[in-house]
Amino acid sequence: MDRKQVTGWLAAYEHAWRTPGTEMLATIFTAEASYLQGPYRNPVIGLPAIARVWEEERDGPSEVFQMASEIVAVEGDTAVVRVEVRYGDPVDQEYRDLWIMRFTEDGRCSLFEEWPFPQHPVGIPGPS
């Protein structure tokens, strides 16, 4: 993987999140992908299980959010990305995460590990 490929994968991830249904997951994750939503949580394994998590977590394709990402590192088949997601208009939820992803030769993700940082109340300055 290179930075351009990771950028494309991130765009496909966001597009899949915004698209009704979960069929697009097969274009970005392998059939037996491991999807870890936090460092101390049990991984969700396989497309059917990931699809269930997505349907439970998102409000649907009309959900209002902005996603920004910055690639921190790409080494071989592994990428680390800093992600910020802001929900609502006006924004009422904000999340910052680090994502660690391992890819197969066809560009799909076989391991997705999310390191979420606790939600920061919108409109309140963070620690200095």
pLDDT tens across 23-80, in order? 999 999 999 999 999 989 999 999 999 999 999 988 777 788 899 999 999 999 999 9
Q: pLDDT tier at 122 (50, 70, 90 boundaries)?
A: low
Per-residue pLDDT at 107? 98
CB neighbourhood size of 110 (10 A):
15
Burial group, residue 60, by CB count within 10 angstroms (0-12, 13-18, 19+): exposed
Domains within the chain, CATH numbers bracketed: 3-117 (3.10.450.50)
Q: In the sheet where 109-117 sits, what is the strand order?
A: 44-45, 29-36, 109-117, 91-103, 78-88, 65-75
Taking the C-alpha atoms of residue 54 and residue 77, their distance in angstroms, rounded to an integer, is 24
Taking the C-alpha atoms of residue 6 and residue 4, their distance in angstroms, rounded to an integer, is 5
